[in-house]
Amino acid sequence: MLDGKKTLFSGMQATGNLTLGNYLGALKNWVTISDEYQTFFSVVDMHSITVRQDPAELRKRARMLLTLYIAAGLDPEKNCIYYQSHVSGHAELSWILSCFTYMGELSRMTQFKDKAAKHADNINAGLFTYPVLMAADILLYQADVVPVGIDQMQHLELTRDIAFRFNNIYGDVFTVPEAYIGKAGAKIMSLQEPKKKMSKSDENPNGSIYLMDDPDTVIRKFKRAVTDSEASVRYRDEQPGIKNLIDIYCACTGKTPQETEREFDGKGYGDFKMAVGEAVVSVLKPLQDRYKDLSGNKDYLDGIIKANAEKAQYLSNKTLRKVQKKIGFPEKIR
Ligand code: TRP
C-alpha cells in the first residue's frame, strides 16, 4: 500500500498491432480505474521474446505501445508506465520464483500448450517459464489487483499459488494479488468471424479494427462486417455478428443494448453498421491525434521513460532486497 492507495499492476505485449478489442477490453478500463490505485503499467517486452522477434520491429512496437498507453489517457506523471526490460528486478525475481514453481504446474498452462503447438519449431524454456516472469512482474510491486482477461486467469492463479507458497516458508513477503474483473470490460469479437475474439494476430486484417486505422478504413471494415439474414438489430446470441456490433457501439457511446435496439428499430443493417463505424471513429480520432502529438515529442517521451524506469527500479528493489535476504543470499557490502 503506497500513498494510502492499493497497488495495481498490468501489462501488455508489444507484439502485433493493437486492436479496438485491446482498447475497449483493457486499455480503456485501465484509464477508468487508474485514479483509485497506485498503478504500474508495463510494456512487457521480455515476454515478447518467447517467440522470435525482429529486433527493430520489437523496439518500434514497444515504443508505440508505451505511447499509446499515454495517448489513451494514462497520465505518466501519476501512472508508472515503463518497459519491463528497463527494470532488472523482473529477471532477478523471476529466477528466484522459478525455484518455487513446479514443472507440473507450468506444463498445465493452457497458453503454453497453445503456443507450443503454434511454434513447434521453437518451444524454448522461456515459453515454458513465461508465467513465472509474469508472477515476478506482479509480486515485485506487491500488487493488490491485476486487471486481466479471462485468458490470463490461469497465470494469475499460479501467481497466487507461488506467493502463498513463498509466504508459507518465509513469512509474509508477498501481497497475494486478486484478479480485477472489470465491469463488463467489453469482449470484442472479430468482424469477420464473430465467434472468435478480435485479435492482433488475426491473419485477416478485415476482422480487426486497428487503433491506427484511418476513418475510411474503419468505415469500410464495418460495412463489410459479417452479420446474418435476420435484418433486425437485436441483441441475441443467435445473431453473434450483430451482437458484437452492438457491444462495440455501446462501448463507444455509453448506451445500453436495449437503447441501441430501440434506436435502430425498423432500420436496416446498412444504417446500423454506418453508425457503429462513426462511433468508433469518434473514439479513435482523438486517440490518434494525441498519439501523433506525443510521438512527435521525443524529448518529452524519453524523459517519461527514464523517470518511470527509475521509479519502478527503486520500488521493485525494495521487494527484491527483502526476498534475497529471506532466502539467504549474502548481503551486499556497500
Ligand atoms: N501475459 C499477459 C498477456 O499476454 C501480459 C502480462 C505480462 C501481464 N505480465 C503481466 C498482465 C502482469 C498482467 C500482469 O496478456
Question: Which ligand 1 atom is the nearest neighbour of the CA of 134?
Answer: 9
User: DSSP letters along 274-323, please?
Assistant: HHHHHHHHHHHHHHHHHHHHHHT-HHHHHHHHHHHHHHHHHHHHHHHHHH
Question: Which ligand 1 atom is the nearest neighbour of the CA of 12?
Answer: 5
pLDDT at 262: 97
Kindly list the domain boundaries of the chain, sorted by start residue.
7-180+298-327, 205-292
pLDDT at 178: 97
Q: Exactly one of 28, 115, 221, 243 is catalytic; name it.
A: 115
pLDDT at 252: 95
- Give pLDDT tens digits for 18-52: 999 999 989 999 999 999 999 999 999 999 999 99
Our answer on whether the CB atom of 47 is closer than 6 Å to any ligand 1 atom is: yes
- Give pLDDT tens digits for 277-307: 999 999 999 999 999 999 999 999 999 999 9
Selected from 1.25.40.390, 1.10.10.10, 1.10.240.10, 3.20.20.140, the CATH number assigned to the domain covering 205-292 reads 1.10.240.10
Q: Whose CA is nearest to atom 6 of ligand 1?
A: 11
pLDDT at 280: 98
Measured in Å, residue 138 CA sits from the centre of ligand 1 at 9
The sign of the torsion formed by the CA atoms of 30, 31, 36, 39 equals positive
7-180+298-327 CATH fold = Rossmann fold (3.40.50)
Distance CA 121, CA 117 (A): 9
pLDDT at 121: 94
Distance CA 245, CA 226 (A): 10
Our answer on whether the CB atom of 9 is closer than 6 Å to any ligand 1 atom is: yes
Note if 200 is an active site residue: yes
Identify which of 47, 85, 200 to mutate to test ligand 1's pocket (most ligand atoms within 8 A of the CB). Answer: 47
pTM of the model: 0.93
Note if 115 is an active site residue: yes
pLDDT at 3: 67
Our answer on whether the CB atom of 145 is closer than 6 Å to any ligand 1 atom is: no
Our answer on whether the CB atom of 135 is closer than 6 Å to any ligand 1 atom is: no
Q: Whose CA is nearest to atom 14 of ligand 1?
A: 10
pLDDT at 1: 60
Query: What are residue 83's DSSP bridge partners?
Result: 43
Measured in Å, residue 274 CA sits from the centre of ligand 1 at 34
Domains 7-180+298-327 and 205-292 are alike in CATH topology: no
Distance CA 275, CA 267 (A): 11
Note if 197 is an active site residue: yes
Our answer on whether the CB atom of 198 is closer than 6 Å to any ligand 1 atom is: no
Where the chain has pLDDT below 70, the residues are: 1-3, 182-185
Measured in Å, residue 255 CA sits from the centre of ligand 1 at 30
